[in-house]
Amino acid sequence: MAVNAYFRTSTDKVVLPIGRGLARAGLTPNGITTLGLLGVILGITILLLGRPVLGGWIVAFATILDAFDGTVARLTDSQTEMGAFYDSVADRVADATIFAACAWVARDQPLVFTGVMIAFATALITSYIRAKAESLGFDATVGLIERPERVAIILPALGYGFLGWGAWLLAVGGAITIAQRLHAVMSQARERADERTSDER
């Protein structure tokens, strides 16, 4: 199970006060999403220009800021389907930007480059499984590696020079997460089918 699932109560003690502060400052959920995405792009640009530690910290701050858009939306009662859609798309763009930078850094290291590509693929598939499952009425929030864990692993790995270890850790963890989510959805599908069979008898 991912970190969010275990420690939601504890993290809310920190997240909610900050979210209230952002709301009082006049920041909207979509505005926070946009700032987070722009921060990721800026940080990655700085990283690729030869300042990996500074760039990594900027990306980390932007990613943390982006985590508050949903909180502010709930606190201000401004949750919308369009806002959720925009947040999801922005997250995927940010992920692609980070992994593109990883691929560029690892372009002359075949083993590391392969790990980055597998990690990116598992990240995309993990997100797709959840989105598709929820569209069909299933829950697919289980798994070892979700976005917060991915970012917490890949940014230090990229900024401090151990990208190979971080990429392969995400590649393996991502594959496990895919298996966990597929198992969860298939179990729910079987339960739903059994319930329909029972109702028809």
Q: Give me the residue label for tokens 């939306």.
A: 73
Alpha-carbon distance values, 26 to 76, 86, 125, 138 (Å) = 10, 19, 35, 35
pLDDT in the model for residue 7: 52
pLDDT in the model for residue 18: 81
Question: Structure tokens of 50?
Answer: 């030869």
pLDDT in the model for residue 8: 55
Beta-carbon-side half-sphere exposure of residue 131 (alpha carbons within 13 Å) = 13
Q: How far is CA 186 from the centre of its chain?
A: 23
Question: Structure tokens of 32?
Answer: 């926070």
Question: Structure tokens of 65?
Answer: 């800021």
Burial of 20 (0-12, 13-18, 19+ CB in 10 A): middle
φ/ψ (deg, to 5) at 191:
-65, -40
86: closest CA among 130, 34, 50? 34
Q: Domains in the chain and their CATH numbers?
A: 3-200 (1.20.120.1760)
pLDDT in the model for residue 99: 95
> What stretches in the chain show pLDDT beneath 70?
1-13, 199-201
Q: Tell whether pTM > 0.75.
A: yes
Dihedral sign from CA coordinates of 11, 159, 177, 64: positive
Dihedral sign from CA coordinates of 171, 173, 176, 181: negative
pLDDT in the model for residue 3: 47
Distance between CA atoms of residues 90 and 88, nearest Å: 5
- List the catalytic residues: 91
